[in-house]
């Protein structure tokens, strides 16, 4: 009986805090995306005027986001019935956008005009669903920042 | 090429619906499926358990193990009463013409008047019950009722259900998975197994009455125990445990019919202490 | 919507770009497929059930990426890359990303 009570408590905590953290994170992401719209991120390997730029460097952004108990339980249920795991989708969307934002921010700090040739890698750290272990996802975004020699961002 | 900054709309790569909706949906589906599976298992266990012959049941629940479980292995205190009841049971059995079952009566020292049927043909009676019954017929009815449970294989059916339920819980949740077997044995404690369904109780009442008819030629004394229990309840003591597991007492008295008959055999003196 | 993993669309010119667009899905297999796959584990060979599942998921991820591009007013997505990873027990994540552009 005590096991069940612990389970319910964890579930409730996971749900409450998870939702809270998630909505805050999304607000922050949307805000920062708006602010960094002037610096494009593309997967193209070539960019107009790229050979005029005197400086270019690799920039990366990475983040590890962890799952909460509620999401994990929901995912476990989903696993039995099949279908889309909506609980994990929001987690991964956040992680990815955060990683891209961090890469952009690193690039903008260097005064970049654009980030080209972007690649994104996702991997899971200890996705093991054994009791008590942490499930988390790491997203890495990397690309080449094109920095005009001396000039700031041009539109 | 020129660059036009655009912000992607929300909600494409993830769902903005409240996750609780999904949880409720999935949980309710899972619960329904589990309930269905458990129901099917219960029904089939009732059917399958009948294929376990009584001799096997007896083997599993041997006398010395039962007595150890009941804490009765060391006492000599109630030997006379047990012997008397044993001979009564054998009379009932002989009158019924039954040779395939072997019954063993035990006194169980609990402070409420009650009688039990355990797997393996064991019948338990409490001293309090002996105190409130006055006639041999009344006692024979109680013993016959418990024998009725054995004839219907009710104890082993209950056992099968308990085992199944434990297995389902274990498979689902892993709760208690370190101590599965010991806890199973503990749960299937013999006293716990005396909970039979109301239908099973009614059938056992009928069997008890039939046995009375076969031995004494009449069903006098059949309702004695229930009436005494009613008096007790209307009096001071509340024998809640008794009333919970059995059908309403008035109903049982009604279906057993009148018990006013002259020739009731009184219980020997030594039986009541 | 034109989808290509080339830098440009052959025969057309890119006149405008909107940046990165991405689409992802996480799909879980269900118990039935699991059991069947377990059996197939003994015999070897293609797990048709899983292949089908992942193909559908990839379709959906691509669809989401297209949705994002359409909301920008793009008519092509170039330099598309796919990535598959396993992020949860028994679930695969399909991710597609590319650059949304307008071609002429």
Choose the closest CB to C99 out of A43, A92, A137.
A43
Residue B147 clears pLDDT 60, i.e. is over it: yes
Residue B135 clears pLDDT 90, i.e. is over it: no
C68 part of contact set with chain B, CB < 8 Å: yes
Closest CA to C73 of C18, C23, C2: C18
B183 to chain A, minimum CA–CA distance in Å? 14
Residue B75 clears pLDDT 70, i.e. is over it: no
Contact list, A33 vs chain B (CB under 8 Å): 7
B5 to chain A, minimum CA–CA distance in Å? 6
CA gap B71, C15 in Å, rounded: 92
Contact list, C89 vs chain A (CB under 8 Å): 75-76, 79, 127-129
**How many CB pairs below 8 Å do chains B and C form together?**
39
What burial class does residue B102 get, using C-beta atoms within 10 Å of its C-beta: 0-12 exposed, 13-18 middle, 19+ buried?
middle
* Average pLDDT rounded to a whole number, residues A6-21: 88
**Residue C82 near residue C94, CB atoms below 8 Å:** yes
Contact list, B5 vs chain A (CB under 8 Å): 37-38, 40
**Residue A124 near residue A138, CB atoms below 8 Å:** yes
Contact list, C28 vs chain A (CB under 8 Å): 75, 78-79, 81-85
pLDDT for res B190: 43
CA gap C84, A13 in Å, rounded: 31
* Average pLDDT rounded to a whole number, residues C86-92: 76
Max alpha carbon distance in chain A (Å)?
Answer: 70
**What DSSP line would sit under B50-104, residue for residue?**
TTS-HHHHHHHT-HHHHHHHHT-SS--TTHHHHHHHHHHHHHHHHHHT--S---E
Residue C55 clears pLDDT 70, i.e. is over it: yes
**Residue B78 near residue B127, CB atoms below 8 Å:** yes
Task: Indicate the pLDDT class of residue C78, thresholds 50, 70 and 90.
Answer: very high
Going by their DSSP bridges, the two strands A55-66 and A136-147 should be labelled as antiparallel
pLDDT tens figures, B178-226 = 554 555 555 554 444 446 777 888 888 888 888 888 888 877 777 888 8
Contact list, B13 vs chain C (CB under 8 Å): 22-24, 64, 68
Give alpha helix (H) positions in A36-137. Answer: 69-81, 86-109
pLDDT for res B237: 45
Looking at per-residue pLDDT, the higher value among B173 and B142 belongs to B142
Contact list, C73 vs chain B (CB under 8 Å): 6
pLDDT for res B3: 87
Cα dihedral A29, A35, A38, A43, rounded to 10, equals -10
CA gap B4, C19 in Å, rounded: 8
Identify the contact set of chain B against chain A, taking CB-CB distances under 8 A: 1, 3, 5-7, 10, 13-15, 17, 19-20, 22-23, 26-27, 29-30, 173, 175
pLDDT for res B71: 61
ipTM: 0.83
Contact list, A38 vs chain B (CB under 8 Å): 5
B168 to chain A, minimum CA–CA distance in Å? 16
Contact list, A80 vs chain C (CB under 8 Å): 30-31
In chain C, whose CA is at the least distance from the CA of A65?
C87
**Residue C97 near residue C65, CB atoms below 8 Å:** yes
Coil, strand or helix: which one is B111? coil
Coil, strand or helix: which one is B165? helix
Chain A interface, best mutation among B20, B24, B26, by max A CB count within 10 A: B26
Ramachandran class of B30: left when φ > 0, alpha when ψ lies in -120 to 50, beta otherwise: alpha
pLDDT for res B179: 52
Ramachandran class of C78: left when φ > 0, alpha when ψ lies in -120 to 50, beta otherwise: beta
**What DSSP line would sit under B210-263, residue for residue?**
HHHHHHHSS-TTTTHHHHHHHHHHHSS---HHHHHHS--HHHHHHHH-----S-
Distances (CA, A) of C18 to C13, C75, C78: 15, 11, 11
pTM: 0.69
What burial class does residue C15 get, using C-beta atoms within 10 Å of its C-beta: 0-12 exposed, 13-18 middle, 19+ buried?
exposed
* Average pLDDT rounded to a whole number, residues B150-168: 79
CA gap B222, B206 in Å, rounded: 10
**Residue A118 near residue A141, CB atoms below 8 Å:** yes
pLDDT for res B244: 57
Question: Of the given ranges (A67-76, A125-134, B2-11, B41-50), which has the lowest mean pLDDT?
Answer: A125-134
Residue A59 clears pLDDT 90, i.e. is over it: yes
Task: Indicate the pLDDT class of residue A155, thresholds 50, 70 and 90.
Answer: very low
Choose the closest CB to B5 out of A19, A38, A70.
A38
Please provide the average confidence, as pLDDT, over all residues in chain A: 84
Contact list, C99 vs chain A (CB under 8 Å): 42-44
Contact between chains at A3 and B175 (C-beta distance less than 8 A): yes
Contact list, A86 vs chain B (CB under 8 Å): 14-15, 17, 19, 22
Contact between chains at C20 and A42 (C-beta distance less than 8 A): yes
In chain A, whose CA is at the least distance from the CA of B1?
A48
Contact between chains at C30 and A119 (C-beta distance less than 8 A): no
Coil, strand or helix: which one is A62? strand
C44 to chain A, minimum CA–CA distance in Å? 23
Residue A55 clears pLDDT 60, i.e. is over it: yes
Chain B interface, best mutation among A21, A65, A81, by max B CB count within 10 A: A81
CA gap A6, A14 in Å, rounded: 12
Closest CA to A27 of B25, B10, B17, C49: B10
**Residue B207 near residue B148, CB atoms below 8 Å:** yes
* Average pLDDT rounded to a whole number, residues B241-250: 63
User: Which DSSP symbol is given to A39?
Assistant: S
Contact between chains at A77 and B19 (C-beta distance less than 8 A): no
Tokens representing residue A87 in the block:
């609980």
Distances (CA, A) of C47 to B255, C34, C39: 64, 10, 10
Max alpha carbon distance in chain B (Å)?
Answer: 114
pLDDT for res A54: 81
**How many CB pairs below 8 Å do chains A and B form together?**
53
Residue A30 clears pLDDT 70, i.e. is over it: yes
> Cα-flanking dihedrals φ and ψ of residue B221, to 5°?
90, -5
pLDDT for res B255: 74
pLDDT for res B183: 53
Q: Tokens 């696993």 identify what position? A: A79
C78 part of contact set with chain A, CB < 8 Å: yes
């Amino acid at each position: 009986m005590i096991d069940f009570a612990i389970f319910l408590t964890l579930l409730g905590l996971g749900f409450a805090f998870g939702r809270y953290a998630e909505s805050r994170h999304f607000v922050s992401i949307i805000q920062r995306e708006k602010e960094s719209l002037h610096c494009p991120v593309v997967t193209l390997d070539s960019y107009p005027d790229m050979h005029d730029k005197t400086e270019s460097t690799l920039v990366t952004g990475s983040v590890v986001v962890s799952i909460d108990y509620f999401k994990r339980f929901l995912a476990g249920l989903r696993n039995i019935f099949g279908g889309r795991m909506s609980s994990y989708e929001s987690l991964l969307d956040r992680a990815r956008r955060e990683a891209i934002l961090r890469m952009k921010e690193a690039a903008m700090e260097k005064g970049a005009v654009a980030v080209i040739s972007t690649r994104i890698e996702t991997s899971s750290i200890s996705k093991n669903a054994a009791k008590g272990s942490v499930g988390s996802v790491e997203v890495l975004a990397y690309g080449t920042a094109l920095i005009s020699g001396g000039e700031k961002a041009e539109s | 090429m020129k660059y036009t900054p655009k912000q992607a709309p929300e909600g494409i790569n993830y769902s903005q619906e409240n996750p609780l909706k999904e949880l409720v949906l999935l949980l309710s589906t899972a619960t329904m499926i589990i309930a269905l599976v458990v129901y099917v298992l219960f029904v089939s266990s009732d059917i399958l358990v009948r294929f376990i012959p009584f001799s096997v049941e007896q083997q599993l629940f041997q006398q010395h193990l039962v007595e150890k479980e009941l804490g009765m292995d060391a006492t000599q205190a109630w030997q006379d009463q047990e012997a008397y009841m044993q001979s009564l049971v054998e009379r009932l059995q002989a009158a019924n013409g039954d040779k395939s079952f072997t019954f063993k009566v035990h006194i169980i020292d609990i402070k409420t008047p009650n009688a039990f049927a355990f797997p393996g043909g064991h019948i338990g009676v409490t001293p309090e019950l002996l105190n409130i019954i006055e006639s041999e017929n009344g006692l024979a009815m109680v013993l016959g009722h418990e024998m009725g449970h054995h004839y219907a294989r009710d104890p082993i059916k209950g056992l099968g259900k308990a085992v199944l339920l434990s297995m389902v819980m274990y498979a689902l949740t892993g709760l208690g998975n370190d101590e599965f077997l010991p806890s199973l044995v503990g749960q299937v404690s013999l006293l716990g197994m005396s909970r039979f369904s109301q239908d099973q109780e009614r059938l056992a009442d009928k069997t008890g009455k039939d046995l009375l008819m076969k031995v004494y030629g009449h069903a006098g004394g059949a309702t004695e125990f229930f009436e005494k229990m009613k008096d007790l309840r209307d009096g001071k003591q509340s024998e809640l445990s008794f009333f919970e597991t059995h059908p309403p007492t008035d109903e049982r008295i009604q279906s057993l019919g009148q018990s006013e008959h002259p020739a009731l055999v009184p219980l020997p003196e030594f039986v009541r202490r | 919507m034109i989808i290509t993993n080339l830098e440009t669309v052959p025969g057309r010119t890119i006149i405008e770009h909107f940046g990165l667009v991405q689409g992802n899905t996480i799909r879980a297999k269900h118990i039935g497929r699991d059991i069947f796959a377990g059996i197939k584990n003994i015999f070897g060979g293609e797990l048709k059930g899983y292949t089908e599942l992942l193909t559908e998921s990839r379709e959906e991820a691509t669809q989401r990426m297209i949705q994002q591009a359409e909301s920008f007013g793009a008519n092509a997505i170039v330099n598309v890359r796919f990535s598959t990873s396993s992020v949860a027990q028994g679930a695969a994540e399909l991710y597609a990303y590319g650059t949304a552009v307008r071609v002429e």
